[in-house]
C-alpha cells in the first residue's frame, strides 16, 4: 500500500496561517506583490511605446525577445551566484538596480531611441535573472514542509493576480496618465520591495566563496548541469515549463498583437484586458491544482494534459471572429483564462517537484538551468512567430492556430514519453524527496548557514 509520502501532500498549512504566522515569508510575499504590480505596469507601457514608435510586429517581438534572451544567457551564472552568496542581499541589490534602470525609459520618445530601450530592458532583465532564482530558492528555506506547497501556490497566484491587476491598471494608466507616470510608478515599487526584503530573515545553506566567483563559475555551472543530467527525476521535470514554452512564447506574444484588433482606438486598454485574462487564468490554475491534484503520482500526467489543454484553448482563440464588442472580447477572455489556468498548473507542480527533489546547495543552479531552458524555448517561439507575421507568411489568426497545434503536440509528447518513465521510477525514488549527490560527486565547499 503506498505511503502518504508517495501519494498525498503532507498536511497543508492554510493561506492565512502561512501569511499570518510566518513573518519572513509574509515580508518576502508583500515585497513580491508590490514589485510585480509595477512590473506589469512597465510591461504594458513598453508594448504600447514600441508599437506606437515603430508599428512593426518584429520590433514588438524584439521586446519579448529582450525579456527572454538576456535572462537565458545570464541564468547559469545567476544560479551559481544564488548558491554561493547571500540570497537576501542579492534580492535587495537587484531591486535597487532595477529601480534606477527603469527611469531610463523616460528619455525614449523617438524611433531612433528604440535600440536604447532594448539595452535598458536587457539590463533590467539580467538583474531579474538573479532575483527570480534567489526568490525561488529561498522559499523552502523560510517555510516548513507543511507550508511549502501552499507557499508556492500563493506565490504563483500572486504573480497571476498582479498580472491581472497590473495589466488592467497599467493599460488604463497608459491611456489616462501617460507612459512617463507608469515608469515612475515601476521604479518606486522596486524600492518598496527592497525595503520589505531588507526586513526578512532567510537562512541559507551556501557553498564556499574562497576560490572566487570567476575562477570557479565554469566548474560550478558544469557541476549543476551534471547534477541534472545524472538525476533523470530532476532533469525530466526541469523541461516541464520549456515544453509549454516551445509554443507558449509565440502565443503570448500574439496575444499582445490581438489587443490592437479588439481595441484599435485604445491599444493599451486592449492589451491590458487580454493580459488581465491571462493573469486571472494563471491565478485560478494553482488554486485548482492545489485543491484537486494532491496525489503526487498524478502530477506528471497533469503537467502534460495542462500543456495540451492550453494549446487547445488558443486554437479556439485563433478561430473566433475577434469582434470589437463587449460580448466578443468577453468570449475571447474566457478561453484565454482557461488556457492559462492550465499552464499555471504545469508551472506550480513542476516548481514544487523540483524544490522537493533537489538538495538546497544545488537548488539555485537547478532553477537557473530550468530558467535557461524556458527562456531559450520561449525566445525561439517568439522569434518564429514574429518572423512569420513580419514576412506575411501567415495572418494573425493562422499563426495563432499553428502555434496552438504545436503546443497540443508538445503536451501529447510529454504524456507519451515522460509520464511512463515517471511512473516507473516513482516507487524507487521515494516520492520525490531531495536527491543527494552520488558518492563520487564532490561537495562544493563546506556547508554554512547565514
Position 431 pLDDT exceeds 60? no
The count of domains in the chain is: 1
Report in angstroms the alpha-carbon separations of 207 from 356, 358, 449: 19, 15, 9
Q: Higher model confidence: residue 151 or residue 410?
A: 410
Q: What is the pLDDT of residue 206?
A: 58
Best mean pLDDT range from 121-125, 170-174, 431-435:
121-125
Q: Higher model confidence: residue 356 or residue 10?
A: 356
Q: What is the pLDDT of residue 447?
A: 29
Residue numbers of the domain that contains 344: 19-202+215-434
pLDDT band at 8 (very low <50, low <70, confident <90, very high): very low
Position 65 pLDDT exceeds 70? yes
Q: Which residues pair with 8 in a beta bridge?
A: 295
**d(C-alpha 291, C-alpha 82), whole Å:** 32
CATH (domain of 138): 1.20.1250.20
Q: What percentage of the chain carries pLDDT values higher than 70?
A: 88
Q: What is the pLDDT of residue 215?
A: 55
Q: What is the pLDDT of residue 212?
A: 56
pLDDT band at 387 (very low <50, low <70, confident <90, very high): very high
Mean of the pLDDT values across residues 428-439? 44
Give phi and psi for 374, each to the nearest 5: -65, -50
- 442 found inside a domain: no
Could you tell me which residues come within 8 angstroms of residue 174 by beta carbon, excluding any fewer than 6 positions away? 44, 45, 48, 182, 268, 269, 272
- 419 found inside a domain: yes
- 429 found inside a domain: yes
Q: What is the pLDDT of residue 428?
A: 61
**d(C-alpha 434, C-alpha 411), whole Å:** 26
Could you tell me which residues come within 8 angstroms of residue 390 by beta carbon, excluding any fewer than 6 positions away? 56, 57, 58, 61
pLDDT 10s digits, 272-329: 899 999 989 987 887 788 788 878 888 999 999 999 999 999 999 999 988 888 899 9
pLDDT band at 264 (very low <50, low <70, confident <90, very high): confident
- 449 found inside a domain: no
Please state which of the ranges 98-102, 373-377, 412-416 shows the lowest mean pLDDT.
373-377
Mean of the pLDDT values across residues 209-237? 72
Position 7 pLDDT exceeds 60? no
- 173 found inside a domain: yes
**d(C-alpha 94, C-alpha 437), whole Å:** 31
Residue 89 burial by CB count (10 A; 0-12/13-18/19+): exposed, middle or buried?
A: middle
The grid cell for 174 is: 497608459
Q: What is the pLDDT of residue 2?
A: 38
The helix/strand/coil state of 141 is helix
Mean of the pLDDT values across residues 86-107? 94
Mean of the pLDDT values across residues 387-414? 96
Best mean pLDDT range from 129-138, 331-340, 362-371:
331-340
Q: What is the pLDDT of residue 430?
A: 54
- 299 found inside a domain: yes
- 292 found inside a domain: yes
Amino acid at each position: 500500500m503506498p505511503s502518504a509520502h508517495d501519494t498525498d501532500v503532507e498536511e497543508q498549512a492554510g493561506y492565512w496561517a502561512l501569511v499570518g504566522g510566518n513573518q519572513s515569508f509574509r515580508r518576502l510575499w508583500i515585497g513580491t506583490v508590490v514589485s510585480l504590480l509595477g512590473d506589469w505596469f512597465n510591461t504594458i507601457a513598453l508594448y504600447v511605446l514600441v508599437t506606437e514608435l515603430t508599428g512593426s510586429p518584429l520590433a514588438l517581438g524584439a521586446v519579448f525577445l529582450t525579456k527572454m534572451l538576456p535572462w537565458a544567457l545570464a541564468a547559469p551564472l545567476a544560479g551559481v551566484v544564488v548558491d554561493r552568496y547571500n540570497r537576501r542581499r542579492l534580492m535587495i541589490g537587484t531591486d535597487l538596480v532595477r529601480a534606477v534602470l527603469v527611469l531610463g525609459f523616460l528619455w525614449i520618445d523617438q524611433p531612433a531611441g528604440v535600440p536604447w530601450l532594448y539595452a535598458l530592458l536587457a539590463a533590467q532583465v539580467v538583474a531579474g535573472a538573479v532575483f527570480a532564482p534567489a526568490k525561488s530558492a529561498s522559499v523552502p528555506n523560510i517555510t516548513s514542509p507543511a507550508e511549502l506547497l501552499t507557499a508556492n501556490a500563493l506565490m504563483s497566484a500572486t504573480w497571476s493576480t498582479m498580472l491581472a491587476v497590473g495589466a488592467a491598471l497599467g493599460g488604463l494608466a497608459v491611456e489616462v496618465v501617460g507612459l512617463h507616470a507608469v515608469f515612475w510608478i515601476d521604479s518606486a515599487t522596486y524600492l518598496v520591495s527592497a525595503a520589505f526584503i531588507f526586513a526578512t530573515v532567510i537562512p541559507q545553506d551556501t557553498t564556499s566563496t574562497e576560490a572566487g566567483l570567476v575562477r570557479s563559475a565554469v566548474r560550478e555551472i558544469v557541476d549543476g548541469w551534471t547534477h541534472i543530467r545524472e538525476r533523470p527525476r530532476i532533469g525530466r521535470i526541469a523541461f516541464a515549463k520549456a515544453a509549454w514554452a516551445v509554443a507558449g512564447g509565440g502565443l503570448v506574444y500574439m496575444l499582445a498583437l490581438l489587443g490592437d484588433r479588439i481595441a484599435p482606438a485604445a491599444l493599451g486598454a486592449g492589451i491590458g484586458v487580454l493580459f488581465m485574462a491571462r493573469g486571472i487564468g494563471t491565478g485560478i490554475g494553482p488554486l485548482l491544482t492545489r485543491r484537486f491534484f494532491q496525489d503526487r503520482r498524478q502530477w506528471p500526467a497533469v503537467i502534460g494534459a495542462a500543456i495540451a489543454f492550453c494549446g487547445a484553448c488558443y486554437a479556439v482563440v485563433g478561430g473566433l471572429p475577434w469582434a470589437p464588442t463587449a460580448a466578443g472580447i468577453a468570449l475571447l477572455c474566457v478561453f484565454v483564462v482557461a488556457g492559462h489556468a492550465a499552464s499555471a498548473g504545469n508551472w506550480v507542480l513542476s516548481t514544487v517537484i523540483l524544490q522537493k527533489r533537489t538538495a538546497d546547495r544545488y537548488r539555485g543552479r537547478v532553477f537557473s538551468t530550468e530558467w535557461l531552458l524556458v527562456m531559450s524555448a520561449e525566445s525561439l517561439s517568439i522569434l518564429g512567430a514574429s518572423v512569420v507575421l513580419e514576412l506575411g507568411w501567415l495572418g494573425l489568426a493562422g499563426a495563432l492556430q499553428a502555434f496552438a497545434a504545436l503546443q497540443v503536440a508538445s503536451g501529447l509528447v510529454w504524456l507519451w514519453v515522460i509520464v511512463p518513465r515517471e511512473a516507473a521510477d516513482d516507487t524507487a525514488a521515494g516520492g520525490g524527496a531531495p536527491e543527494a549527490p552520488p558518492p563520487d560527486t564532490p561537495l562544493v565547499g563546506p556547508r554554512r548557514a547565514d
